[in-house]
Amino acid sequence: MKKSLIALVLMALLAAACNLPGNGGTETQESPEAVFTQAAQTVAAELTRVALLASPTPNVPIVPTPTFTPSATTIPIPTNTTAFTPTNTPIPCNLATFDTDVTIPDNTPMAPNQVFSKTWRIRNAGSCSWNSSYLLIFEHGDGIGVTAGYTQQLTTGVVNPGQEIDLNVTLKAPATSGTYTGYWRLRDPGGITFGISPAGGPFIVKIVVVVTNSTTLLPVAGESGTIRSDWGPGPDFTAGESNADITRTCEAFLSFDITSIPTNATITEVKVDFTAFSITGNPFGLGVLNAYATDYGPTLEPSDFASGFPPGNIADWGSTNALSVIEASPELKTYLQSKLGTPRLQLRLQFPGSNGDAVKDRLTLTNPRITVTYVKP
């Protein structure tokens, strides 16, 4: 390559020399500098052409970039996902949750000045144990028998986290009708009050005081009395063994006129007063005195006597001490409510039967009565 370039340069110089004028020529004379400049330009142009011919651009094929297409067997490339790290929220020292109203649910009707026991069941949901230094406090609202600032000891023992406790407070309904609500909380030994989670609200007692009516029912003459297993009716109210034959028994029947109670009334309480009685022998040695609801109609007949000692009693007494107490009967209240709109509430009283001990064991009621308390709509 170098030899070729040298040859070309020499040829260019010779060509330029040939153009120089002779001594006797008539051509236009050029200076030697111009001749050599022209020769140099010719050589430069030729060198450029040769260089271009000697260095051609290679014909490099273009290779397409492969495209990746995943197949069914392609193993996916895992991506890094930032893992969530949970944060532990500490459990407060003092925290309570409400389980249930054991007694007196919200909007329970109450008679004016009625004394009652309210019981809440709550759970210690905090991290600290409750002891005798914790207090149940009346915070605000209607006192319902307690004054502002009232407190009482929460427990005499220890309530550990997760355990339940029943909180009891004795209250008294106001004298006038209306809806009353009291708000209660707990207080720790440091004087900090807390309530029911999650918001820490109070637990409440809510009652509705209504003006009540009361009536006392006495047995209806001619519809009440005694039926013996082989005789009757008699005018008294005797149950147990009969006078004529100690192997026979008798039963007392009581019929009460309930037409004075409005059909749409709500019975709030029924109290049985059988405290006036006389006994012969040991009637409760025969067993329990049971009271049964019955519908024998306006006429008492021997066929109304019930043999045996059937189930289904709505009240019972197991001793003279029990009979000497005037007590409310929830079962009799429910039954009387179902009878409103009919003229009579009728009961049959009986012992299990005769014990055959040759002793006349019997009980006679001298002034049986029932007191009914109700609310008119």
- Whether the per-residue pLDDT at 48 is higher than 90: the answer is no
168 and 314 housed in the same domain: no
Question: At 303, is the pLDDT very low, low, confident or very high (cuts 50, 70, 90)?
Answer: very high
Which residue from 142, 89, 94 is spatially nearest to 122, judged by alpha carbons? 94
Do 206 and 257 have their domain in common? no
Is residue 198 domain-shared with residue 221, that is, in the same domain? no
CA-based nearest residue to 129, from 168, 184, 91, 98? 91
Question: Nearest-CA neighbor of 278 among 254, 252, 302, 303?
Answer: 252
Do 184 and 330 lie in one domain? The reply is: no
* Amino acid (1-letter code) at residue 129: S
Do the domain assignments include residue 59?
Answer: no
Residue 320 lies in a domain: yes
Q: Give the separation between CA 75 and CA 114, rounded to whole angstroms.
A: 79
Instruction: Tell whether 250 and 361 lie within a shared domain.
Output: yes
Task: Please report, to the nearest 10 degrees, the dihedral formed by the alpha carbons of residues 295, 300, 301, 302 taken in order.
Answer: 90
Compute CA distances 228 → 155, 234, 246, 311, 313, whole Å. Answer: 56, 8, 11, 20, 20
Q: Residue 27: pLDDT above 50?
A: no
232 and 366 fall within a common domain: yes
The answer, yes or no, to whether the previous bond of 233 is cis (omega within 30 of 0) is: yes
Instruction: Specify whether the CB–CB gap between 283 and 240 falls below 8 A.
Output: yes
How much of the chain exceeds pLDDT 90, in percent?
Answer: 63
pTM of the model: 0.52
Q: Is residue 368 part of a domain?
A: yes
Q: What is the token pair recorded at 184?
A: 């209660």
pLDDT digits (tens, 9 = 90+) for 181-222: 999 999 999 999 998 887 888 999 999 998 889 999 999 999
- The count of structural domains within the chain is 2
The DSSP annotation for 42-70 comes to: HHHHHHHHHHHHHSPPP-PPPPPPPPP--
Q: Taking the CA atoms of the chain, what radius of gyration do you get in angstroms?
A: 57
245 shares its domain with 327: yes
Question: What was the pLDDT predicted at 307?
Answer: 87
Instruction: Tell which residue, 299, 74, 297, 98, has the closest CA to residue 204.
Output: 98
User: Which pLDDT band holds residue 300 (cuts at 50, 70, 90)?
Assistant: very high
Which of 195, 210, 225 is the last residue in one of the domains? 210
Stretch 311-317: mean pLDDT, rounded? 94
Whether residue 193 sits in one domain with residue 254: no
**Could you tell me if residue 180 is inside a domain?**
yes
In this prediction, residue 25 has a pLDDT band, given cuts at 50, 70 and 90, of very low
Distance between CA 240 and CA 252 in Å, rounded? Answer: 9
Measured between its terminal Cα atoms, the distance across the chain in Å is: 129
Range of the domain at 167: 96-210
Among the candidates 193, 210, 227, a domain finishes at 210
Q: In the predicted model, is pLDDT for residue 306 greater than 80?
A: yes
Cα–Cα distance for residue pair 176/292, rounded to 1 Å: 37
* Interval 240-269: pLDDT, tens: 998 766 778 999 999 999 999 999 999 989
pLDDT at 232: 87
Q: Which of 178, 210, 242 is the last residue of a domain?
A: 210
pLDDT tens digits, residue range 116-170?
Answer: 999 999 999 999 999 999 999 999 999 999 999 999 999 999 999 999 999 999 9
Whether residues 145 and 191 share a domain: the answer is: yes
Would you say residue 80 has pLDDT above 80? no
Q: Which residues pair with 291 in a beta bridge?
A: 315, 349
Same-domain check for residues 345 and 328: yes
Burial class (CB within 10 angstroms; exposed 0-12, middle 13-18, buried 19+) of 241: buried
Asked if residue 266 and residue 155 are part of one domain, the reply reads: no
**What is the pLDDT, as a whole number, of residue 243?**
73
Residues 111 and 244 in one domain: no
**Interval 69-79 mean pLDDT:** 52
What is the Cα–Cα distance from 94 to 73, expressed in whole angstroms?
A: 58
pLDDT of 50 strictly over 60: no
Distance of alpha carbon 29 from alpha carbon 7, whole angstroms = 27
Instruction: Say if CB 347 and CB 280 are below 8 A apart.
Output: no
Residue 78 lies in a domain: no
Q: Are 179 and 144 in contact (CB under 8 A)?
A: no
Confidence at 361, pLDDT banded by 50, 70, 90: very high
Least confident range of 37-41, 137-141, 222-226: 37-41
- Measured distance CA(367)–CA(377) in Å, rounded: 32
Q: How many CB atoms lie within 10 A of CB 36?
A: 13
Dist. CA 262–CA 243, nearest whole Å:
41
Whether the per-residue pLDDT at 229 is higher than 90: the answer is: no
Can you give the CATH number for the domain in which 343 is found?
A: 2.60.120
Averaged pLDDT, 68-86 = 54
Cβ 266 vs Cβ 109: under 8 Å: yes
Q: Which residues pair with 179 in a beta bridge?
A: 208
- The secondary element (H helix, E strand) that includes residue 155 is none
Give the CATH number for residue 147.
Answer: 2.60.40.10
Question: Among 321, 223, 221, 225, which residue's Cα sits nearest to residue 279?
Answer: 321
